[in-house]
Structure 1
């Protein structure tokens, strides 16, 4: 299986929406809002959205941002989202995307990679731990109105 990773292009957006909604059971993204969000992200060099392609079809995606923080000398890489189409899970696609993120972090002198993962996603927890991530904290969210 010849999977290619590269930064996202506008022609990938519709595949990404289907992937995100189907494989993460999300209904909050559509072509219009994803297009606007990714274009805003592309205008800031701290953000990266990378896709995994098989036969020019998006089968995986990772979204990340370089963040400065008081406790880290050079900051860290926050992985905002990682998804692989269910039919291609456990075939090395997620690992390839994590490796891309780790290489990006290393090249930019970042100390850590951090991500959040829902309690219910136990298979994802196992995946992250097998890639060297540690469980360190809870993530708390609050809607601001």
Structure 2
């Protein structure tokens, strides 16, 4: 399988919406808001969105941001989202996206990669652990009014 990894382009947005909604089950990414959201992220050099392509169709995506924090000397890379189309999972696409993120973090002198993953996504937990990630904490969220 000849998968190409590259930064997202505006021609990828409709594929991204389908991928995010169908395979990550996250209906907050819609055709109506994806362009504005992605363009806003791309306007900040700390954010990167990278896609995996097979036959010029988006089959995977990773969204990440460089973050500075007191507890890390050089900062870290936060993976905000990683999704691979279900019918090509376990074929190396997620590994290529994680490797790309790790290369990016290394080239930018970042100390760690961090991500959050829902409790229900047990297969994803196994994948992340197989890539060297450790379970260290819970993620707490609160809506702001």
- TM-score above 0.5: yes
Q: Which residue of 2 aligns with 1:13?
A: 13
CA RMSD of aligned residues (A): 0.5
CA distance in 1, matches of 2:67, 2:48: 12
Q: Which residue of 1 aligns with 2:109?
A: 109
TM-score of the superposition, structure 2-length normalised? 0.99
Q: Which residue of 2 aligns with 1:119?
A: 119
CA distance in 2, matches of 1:56, 1:91: 17
Q: Which residue of 2 aligns with 1:48?
A: 48
For structure 2, the residue ranges without an aligned partner over 5 or more in a row are none
CA distance in 2, matches of 1:27, 1:72: 33
CA distance in 2, matches of 1:71, 1:34: 33
SS of the residue 1:62 aligns to: strand
Does residue 30 (structure 1) correspond to residue 30 (structure 2)? The answer is: yes
Does residue 143 (structure 1) correspond to residue 143 (structure 2)? The answer is: yes
Give how far 1:13 is off. 0.2
SS of the residue 2:49 aligns to: strand
Give how far 1:27 is off. 1.3
Give how far 1:34 is off. 1.3
CA distance in 2, matches of 1:34, 1:77: 22
Does residue 132 (structure 1) correspond to residue 132 (structure 2)? The answer is: yes
Give how far 1:25 is off. 1.3
CA distance in 2, matches of 1:48, 1:32: 21
Give how far 1:105 is off. 0.1
For structure 1, the residue ranges without an aligned partner over 5 or more in a row are none
Aligned residues: 145
CA distance in 1, matches of 2:65, 2:27: 23
SS of the residue 1:135 aligns to: coil
SS of the residue 2:142 aligns to: coil
Give how far 1:31 is off. 1.8
Give how far 1:32 is off. 2.3
Q: Which residue of 2 aligns with 1:71?
A: 71
